[in-house]
């Protein structure tokens, strides 16, 4: 399908977030699917790849959430950056607070897709479809973001580390709406890295992408966030690598140990964009590059 086929679906908007949660819950209870449509950059493509449905097959209800006020907006209070689930990447990359306090997020949004995709795509949407190749989700992994979700049962926060359970699987309940993401901002001036290895310089899905955030105290890294796209069935959080770096002075980190940790954290595959072997090589190289910038002799 294309966007032009959207009228084939039942479409509506909800008056409020509570009303939206109500619609989703009611339909879920009846076993009916609801699609929350923000930018549609993943969902529309997925529909194209699905086998054609017969005229009699039920189509999901599509609720347009792109204009819902409660899901939009970017705010920062007391070191906490909150980005509405339906804020677009274009809004993110242009937001003064993001540029100043979360420059890695701005850098990621700048390299994501074409300007048209940036103008439609959202973090909420990428979290919902849960592709391990999503650049935005890798950045959230590095920030150890919390995902704010809401349902008729109330609101809760899912730490990023507890979100993804398998390929396109998550701990978010089917009736929970993604409202926002929250990031505990690292101190201003903290080192960061956004490194996308794509098939071309722009408008490419990553072969490997690394998001990195570090807080350094003399020869040690005291806070480290890493997120990597396109190297495992879920967004890789590189826990072994983080543990290695946090466990010893930067000067005691060796390239071999770092490489081994990275390899234990990822499980890449061969596909049209790259090979398993090249992804392993690139993953090691980009992590080494970040640690080298931080002062490790790797």
Burial of 218 (0-12, 13-18, 19+ CB in 10 A): exposed
Give how many residues touch other proteins by CB under 8 A: 21
Q: Which listed residue (75, 165, 171, 199) binds other proteins by CB under 8 A?
A: 199
Q: Distance (Å, rounded) from C-alpha 224 to C-alpha 192?
A: 10
Residues 204 to 233 in contact with other proteins, rule: CB under 8 A: 204-205
If DSSP codes are grouped into helix, strand and coil, which group holds residue 13? coil
Helices 276-294 and 255-265: crossing angle in degrees, nearest 10, is 130
Tell me which H or E stretch contains 165. Answer: strand 164-166
Rounded least distance, CB 216 to other proteins, Å: 24
Considering the complex, what minimum distance in angstroms separates the CB of residue 273 from other proteins? 7
What residues have CB less than 8 Å from 21, skipping those under 6 apart? Answer: 150, 151, 152, 175, 177
| Cα torsion 286, 289, 294, 298: sign | positive
Q: CA 184 to CA 79: how far, in whole Å?
A: 6
Q: Report the residue number, 46 or 277, with the smaller CB distance to other proteins.
A: 277
Residues 21-60 that bind other proteins (CB under 8 A): 52, 55
Query: By CB under 8 A, is residue 116 in contact with other proteins?
Result: no
Smallest distance from the beta carbon of 88 to other proteins, in angstroms? 19
Q: Which of 274, 283, 287, 298 binds other proteins (CB under 8 A)?
A: 274
CB of 132 to other proteins, least distance (A): 16
Residue 203 found at the interface with other proteins (CB under 8 A): yes
Name the site residues for other proteins (rule: CB under 8 A): 5, 8, 52, 55, 197, 199-205, 272-275, 277-278, 281-282, 285
């Amino acid at each position: 399908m294309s966007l032009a086929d959207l009228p084939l679906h039942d479409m509506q908007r909800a008056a409020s977030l509570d009303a939206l949660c109500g619609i989703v819950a009611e339909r879920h209870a009846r076993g009916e699917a609801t699609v929350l449509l923000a930018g549609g950059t993943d969902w529309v493509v997925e529909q194209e790849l699905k086998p054609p449905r017969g005229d009699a097959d039920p189509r999901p209800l599509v609720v347009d959430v792109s204009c819902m006020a409660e899901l939009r907006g970017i705010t920062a209070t007391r070191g906490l950056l909150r980005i509405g689930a339906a804020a677009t990447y274009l809004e993110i990359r242009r937001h003064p607070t993001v540029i100043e306090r979360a420059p890695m997020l701005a850098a990621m949004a700048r390299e994501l897709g074409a300007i048209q995709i940036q103008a439609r795509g959202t973090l909420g949407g990428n979290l919902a479809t849960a592709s391990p190749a999503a650049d935005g989700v890798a950045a959230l992994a590095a920030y150890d973001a919390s995902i704010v979700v809401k349902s008729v049962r109330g609101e809760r926060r899912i730490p990023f580390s507890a979100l993804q359970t398998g390929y396109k699987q998550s701990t978010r309940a089917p009736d929970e709406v993604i409202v926002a993401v929250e990031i505990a901002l690292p101190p201003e001036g903290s080192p960061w890295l956004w490194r996308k290895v794509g098939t071309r310089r722009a408008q490419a899905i990553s072969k490997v992408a690394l998001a990195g955030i570090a807080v350094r105290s003399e020869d040690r890294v005291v806070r480290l966030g890493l997120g990597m796209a396109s190297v495992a069935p879920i967004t890789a959080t590189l826990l072994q690598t983080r543990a290695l770096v946090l466990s010893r002075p930067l000067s005691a980190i060796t390239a071999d140990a770092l490489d081994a940790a990275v390899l234990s954290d990822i499980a890449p595959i061969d596909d049209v964009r790259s090979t398993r072997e090249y992804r392993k090589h690139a993953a090691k190289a980009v992590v080494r590059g970040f640690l080298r910038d931080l002062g490790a002799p790797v």
